[in-house]
Amino acid sequence: MSAVTIDSTRCKGCELCCRVCPQGVLRVAKQINTKGYFPAEVGDGTLCMGCCMCAVVCPDVAIEVRVHGVHYDFLGQ
Amino acid sequence: MTGGEVVFSRPESLRRTPTHYCPGCTHGTAHRLVAEVLDELGIRERTVGVAPVGCAVFAYNYFNCDFLEAAHGRAPAFATGVKRVRPELIVFTYQGDGDLASIGLAEILHAANRGEKFTVVFVNNAIYGMTGGQMAPTTLPGQVTTTCPGGRDVEQVGYPLRVAELLATLRTPGYIARGSLHGPEAIVASKRLVRRAFEHQVAGTCFGLVELLSTCPTNWGLTPMAACQWVVDRMIPYYPLGELKRPESATGQVAS
Amino acid sequence: MGCIMIFSGSEAAAKPRKLLMKGAEAIGEAAIRAGAKAYFCYPITPQTEVAEYLARRMPEVGGVFLQGESELAVANMLFGAAATGARVFTSTSSPGFSLMAEAMSYIAGAELPVVFINVMRCGPGLGGVLAAQSDYWQATRNSGHGDYRCPVLAPSSVQEAAELTLAAFELADRYRNPVIVLADGMIGQMMEPVMLEGLAAGEPVEKPWATQGCGGREPVVVKSLYLDPQVLERMNRRLAEKYAKMQTDEVQVELYNVRERHDLVVVAYGTMARICKTAIDRLGKEGLQVGLVRPITLFPFPVDAVHSAARHSAAGVVTVELSQGQMIDDVNLALGELGRSAFFGRSGGMVPTPDEVTRVFRDLVKRGAA
């Protein structure tokens, strides 16, 4: 069981995370943030498998990933 | 959901300050990789960074360690000054392609040739970003910029400079590698290169330079996603990835 | 190369040791005595002997000697080294000094203490390698871009070159500012007896701004970039206050044969001042009263000394330089309502003889009396 959280105030809406998420967890929000960007947001969070691909590609370090139980290190970091 | 084990978060060597970089620009990613390595090697408190002139001019606002702000292209000379006087410090420069490959080519070449024991993070996005998208020494043949509106004409201005290959020919031992920041696997692989370069400095082995292929969606006129694809389609074929030189390949030949 | 002892044998132990040294070497040795930890250089005539001397000496005292790839790189290495809090310096000559101007501006902007020795040769361009004083404007205004100034110290003997080199390090630390020792090719190349015994660094200055790793404290940044105009103007004003303080506190000047009344007052510095002294002594034997004001600090300029000496001079003031006239601008500013200075100068590496200078002074006195 894993969870991804996005700091929507840091997000600049580049959408790189949405593209790389293999589970389609992330999507673009419909509301702009304080910077004026449409930030990424978590859709169906239960699908997250903690692969961290979104966090790895995020240039703004806006994503934090937590894992409960076994963590599968997909990227071999 | 809260609780559980945090498997990914901001490294301590990176401040909370949001960056001024454009959406999708991979400078932020390069910063994070360096910061993660400083954390992992436990060297933040004895590290001095040197910021360039260019988009990364404000790097000192983002890294959580001592910093100098250099004149355009001269970061390797600044770093030489710091490291020679205080060899126990960990010193790195963070430079773009206009800074390092154009105005600062003499400084980087001679620092590498002297075997200065600091680390260079070289961000190559094939364009001048901060001044608004002019031709760089690394701009690809045919690539359109504001100062080569018809595309880079190699008959007029020559071919793009391959800095990593150039430095790899030096006889002085060094660690020279090229990675890319276009996607998760490439970023993780690049992190390993950055870490190795810093490890060589910690061990006092040699000079290290890691060139990171980076995106400039704004000045390339592409979406962040298309810019990442452009790195794969256009940049990597001209700037191949990998370790080009290791200190043990002392002849200056390019390592396989 | 090397030092020749003038005193030897059993007497040497009792008396302070006098060494016969080249100006360039005396400068190098004085810097070591000032506690310089690093010297970066690029060879250029007529001061390469400083580098050759320090290539041997710096390793002996555990210091850093490094020959860089260009004066550009060297001056930027100084920035990095000074940022760690160490006492650092370089030496160069006119064309090399021009290349260092870029970094000097950054060093002044980041408020780093660095000593630059400029042993002037004649210009413009490659010019020649002989002695000149044609970089006065460059040194005293500012060599690089932006609103900054540097103290400029001008020795007129090898002994003074050593003493002012030491003083330059002290000033640099105290004001957190680059300091220039402006010598000419004569001073650099000439051999004279020197006493280095008394030369020692003063109390160390605290440098909490130095980048030495942030262990146990918040990180520090050494920079000259301030994009907010209000912040930058505050910074400019603070720097201006620093330069104003230098003008009140740091003026150094030698008055030679300056009395109540003069037939003529001469303003000259460095080697040129020495030649003028010979001419002044000769004219004294002829019964002419000629006074010399010799600025030791070119910035801050000894405005009051020039003005007060000039008040009672029958034939006014003459500025004498190894150039076509640069310091004369500062002399005229100092004279103010008293009028303008006459000028005599040789350049291109030509150095006037005492005879030539004596004739010039005698003619000026005659014309003043007429």
Q: Is the pLDDT of residue B2 over 90?
A: no
Q: pLDDT-based confidence at C142, cuts 50/70/90?
A: confident
* Alpha-carbon separation of residue B168 from B61, B207, B243 (angstroms): 32, 11, 10
The pLDDT tens digits of the residues spanning B14-70 come to: 999 999 999 999 999 999 999 999 999 999 999 999 999 999 999 999 999 999 999
Q: Is the pLDDT of residue C271 over 50?
A: yes
pLDDT value at residue A70: 84
CB-CB neighbours of B132 under 10 Å: 12
- Assigned domain for A75 exists: no
CB-CB neighbours of B254 under 10 Å: 15
- Assigned domain for A77 exists: no
pLDDT value at residue C9: 44
Mean pLDDT of chain C: 95
Residues of C in Cβ contact (< 8 Å) with B109: 69
Provide the CATH number for the domain around residue A22. Answer: 3.30.70.20
Backbone angles phi, psi at A36, to 5 degrees: 95, 10
Residues of B in Cβ contact (< 8 Å) with C209: none
CATH number for the domain whose boundaries are B27-245: 3.40.50.970
Q: How far apart are CA C364 and CA C102, in angstroms?
A: 42
Q: Is the pLDDT of residue C329 over 60?
A: yes
CB-CB neighbours of C119 under 10 Å: 32
Are C277 and C317 in a shared domain? yes
**Ramachandran area for residue C58 (φ above 0: left; ψ -120 to 50: alpha; else beta):** alpha
Backbone angles phi, psi at A22, to 5 degrees: -70, -15
Interface contact A2-B4, CB threshold 8 A = yes
pLDDT value at residue C184: 93
Residues of B in Cβ contact (< 8 Å) with C79: 68, 70-71, 74, 77-78, 81
pLDDT value at residue C14: 58
Provide the CATH number for the domain around residue C281. Answer: 3.40.50.920
CA distance A57 to chain B (A): 6
The pLDDT tens digits of the residues spanning B227-243 come to: 999 999 999 999 999 99
Residue B191 contacts residue A56 (beta carbons within 8 Å) = no
- Percent of the residues in chain B that have a pLDDT greater than 70, as a whole number: 96
Provide the CATH number for the domain around residue C159. Answer: 3.40.50.970
Tell me which chain B residue has its CA closest to the CA of residue A68: B4
The pLDDT tens digits of the residues spanning C233-268 come to: 999 999 999 999 999 999 999 999 999 999 999 999
- Assigned domain for A50 exists: yes
Interface contact A57-B187, CB threshold 8 A = yes
- Assigned domain for C1 exists: no
Are C177 and C289 in a shared domain? no
- Assigned domain for C9 exists: no
pLDDT value at residue C1: 40
Q: Is the pLDDT of residue C10 over 90?
A: no
| Strand order from edge to edge, sheet including A2-6 | A2-6, A63-67, B5-8
Are C178 and C287 in a shared domain? no
Q: How far apart are CA C187 and CA C119, in angstroms?
A: 8
Q: Is the pLDDT of residue C5 over 60?
A: no
- Assigned domain for A29 exists: yes
Give me the count of residues in chain A: 77
The pLDDT tens digits of the residues spanning B137-154 come to: 999 999 999 999 999 999
- Assigned domain for A46 exists: yes
DSSP 8-state assignment for residue B233:
I
Are C169 and C25 in a shared domain? yes
Are C240 and C265 in a shared domain? no
Mean pLDDT of A25-32: 97
pLDDT value at residue C2: 46
Q: pLDDT-based confidence at C370, cuts 50/70/90?
A: low
pLDDT value at residue A72: 82
Q: pLDDT-based confidence at C12, cuts 50/70/90?
A: very low
Domain of A22, in residue numbers: 2-67
Q: Is the pLDDT of residue C13 over 60?
A: no
Interface contact B68-C83, CB threshold 8 A = yes
- Assigned domain for C149 exists: yes
Are C243 and C281 in a shared domain? no
pLDDT value at residue C258: 97
Residue C104 in tokens = 């000097």
Interface contact C214-B107, CB threshold 8 A = no
In this structure, the strands spanning C290-295 and C253-256 are antiparallel
Are C200 and C212 in a shared domain? yes
Interface contact C83-B80, CB threshold 8 A = no
Residues of B in Cβ contact (< 8 Å) with A17: none
Number of B/C CB contacts below 8 angstroms equals 134
pLDDT value at residue B21: 98
Residues of B in Cβ contact (< 8 Å) with C37: 85
Are C70 and C210 in a shared domain? yes
Q: Is the pLDDT of residue C297 over 70?
A: yes
Q: Is the pLDDT of residue B250 over 70?
A: no
The pLDDT tens digits of the residues spanning B192-207 come to: 999 999 999 999 999 9
Domain count, chain C: 2
Tell me which chain C residue has its CA closest to the CA of residue B13: C219
pLDDT value at residue A68: 87
Are C206 and C96 in a shared domain? yes
Residues of B in Cβ contact (< 8 Å) with A26: none
> In terms of Cα–Cα distance, which of C302, C193, C202, C285 is closest to C246?
C302
- Assigned domain for A36 exists: yes
Q: How far apart are CA A2 and CA A50, in angstroms?
A: 5
Domain count, chain A: 1
Are C75 and C146 in a shared domain? yes
Domain of C309, in residue numbers: 253-369
pLDDT value at residue B249: 74
Are C313 and C178 in a shared domain? no
Q: How far apart are CA C325 and CA C127, in angstroms?
A: 17
Q: pLDDT-based confidence at C3, cuts 50/70/90?
A: very low
Written in H, E and C, the secondary structure of C290-339 is EEEEEECEEECCCHHHHHHHHCCECCCEEEEECCCCCCHHHHHHHHHHHC
pLDDT value at residue B121: 98
Residue in A15, A75, A76 closest to B224 by CB: A15
Chains that touch A (3 or more CB pairs under 8 A): B
Match 């680390």 to its residue by tokens.
B119
- Assigned domain for A35 exists: yes
Q: Is the pLDDT of residue A1 over 80?
A: no
Are C66 and C208 in a shared domain? yes
pLDDT value at residue C246: 98
